[in-house]
Copies of this chain bind each other. A is one copy, B any other.
């Protein structure tokens, strides 16, 4: 049986761990107190206090350097990835089985992810056929494993005129998700960025359409793209 996270964590601790994982990104950069406070919607003294507490625990979930930021330990990463897996499985389950729309699933998954058992996780995964992708195109980590990284970049950095496929979209803003759906900007969709203006607005041509659509910089910021998958790969 693969070794798994055995520490009991509270909801708040879980939220900190996930936030550190997400803010730290692929390189697991140190995450600042201010960034965490912003992400979690709480004050910086509260963040400092919690990080100091977490750093003192044994085994420790974080490595905390005063004024310099925080990183997850191996144990912290395991729990954080477990929560990400729970979250993404729940999102897919809410969408495919309970027929939620894709802009409704995030909030409910954010709440439930802390409370489901391993049994529940396994049953949901079994019913969904051990899926690899959630409704927003995010990779669902394998059980007991860290997430994998994909060659996806923000739409804002994709070269003009070069074909791309939408890899994933952020699940954090329900309003943004509704607008993305309305415009047809969903995972798997092929597109080409034709123009960007000074304000960051994008002119984008979708698939076989001839008329480009206008996408605001805020909305573009929610989209990650990748090179199209060729038939040979």
Looking at A26-34, A72-80, A92-100, A143-151, the stretch in contact with chain B turns out to be A92-100
- A117 contacts which chain B residues (CB < 8 A)? 108, 111
A99 to chain B, nearest CB (A): 6
A99 to B126, CA, bound (A): 10
- A100 contacts which chain B residues (CB < 8 A)? 119, 123
Look across to chain B and name the residue whose beta carbon is closest to the beta carbon of A11.
B115
Q: Are B120 and A98 in contact (CB under 8 A)?
A: yes
Residue in B97, B120, B127 whose CB lies within 8 Å of A108: B120
Copies in the complex: 2
- A97 contacts which chain B residues (CB < 8 A)? 97, 127
In the assembled complex, A112 has its CB within 8 A of some CB on chain B: yes
A8 to chain B, nearest CB (A): 13
Q: Are B116 and A104 in contact (CB under 8 A)?
A: no
In the assembled complex, A215 has its CB within 8 A of some CB on chain B: no
Look across to chain B and name the residue whose beta carbon is closest to the beta carbon of A107.
B117
- A47 contacts which chain B residues (CB < 8 A)? none
Look across to chain B and name the residue whose beta carbon is closest to the beta carbon of A104.
B119
A127 to B94, CA, bound (A): 12
A99 to B124, CA, bound (A): 10
Sorted nearest first, the 10 A-B pairs with minimum C-beta distance are: A98-B123, A111-B115, A115-B115, A112-B115, A108-B117, A108-B120, A99-B123, A98-B127, A100-B123, A98-B124
